[in-house]
Amino acid sequence: MAQIFGPGMDLAARSVLIALGLGAAAAIAFACAMPASDYRTAQHETIAQPVPFSHQHHVAGLGLDCRYCHGAVERAANAGMPATETCMTCHSQIWTHAEMLAPVRASLAEHRPLRWKKVNRLPDYVYFDHSIHIAKGVGCASCHGAVARMPLIRKEASLSMGWCLDCHRDPAPNLRPRAALFDTEWRRGDDTPSPADLMRAYHVRTAGLTDCSTCHR
């Protein structure tokens, strides 16, 4: 009786099954890794803005405080963006005819705000309040990184749910003295209060910080 399948079919069938298994495993691994990838979270991405504003120049070079431009950060959920008049406080006197500042001059002349593009974007279903984080001792750099070293602002942290939960479970390492909240170059020193002392000083309690309703309202 003639054989239906040749001697090599067993090897071919095994190869196909192995390939299918490896392909399925690769697809599952890709699906799991994709949400946390830089491509998906836009972490480390620099977004083109209407004006190439350099935090490195303005913060490290000129010593501007974060609150000069983000004036609502201590009292509102949104840190706020500077009005064109804030920019022109200086640029009506210096670099008045610089080509890169043409959009700023047009914004002032036309009474039309600059359309800055959001870098640190959260989904619409996530509630984040800048003011409570500042009030509880979390400095700007904990989320935004070393802004004073960024010629162009970029997204420093993933801002994923897991990243936020890591801090909410153990916020102590991210707390700093009140005088250092807006210093993106601050480093913990021998004279810095311990994380436990700062937890007590700011009255931070972890109970409830990981409840769904804390961030999803």
In DSSP terms, which residues pair with 37 in a beta bridge? none
Domain limits, the chain: 9-40, 47-81+116-215
Contact between residue 131 and residue 76 where contact means Cβ atoms under 8 Å apart? yes
Q: What is the mean pLDDT of residues 122-140?
A: 96
Q: What angle do CA 20, 23, 28 make, to 5 degrees?
A: 125
The predicted pLDDT at position 76 comes to: 97
Give me the DSSP letters along 120-183: S---TT----HHHHHHTTB-THHHH--GGG-SS-B--S---HHHHHHHHH--GGGB--GGGTT-
Amino acid at position 59, single letter: V
pLDDT in tens, 60-109: 999 999 999 999 999 999 999 999 999 999 999 999 999 999 999 999 99
Asked if pLDDT for residue 44 goes beyond 70, the answer is: yes
Which CB contacts under 8 angstroms, 24+ apart, belong to 191-195? none
13: buried, middle or exposed (CB in 10 Å: 19+, 13-18, 0-12)? exposed
- When pLDDT is cut at 50, 70 and 90, the band that residue 32 belongs to is low
Distance CA 94, CA 49 (A): 21
Q: What is the mean pLDDT of residues 157-166?
A: 95
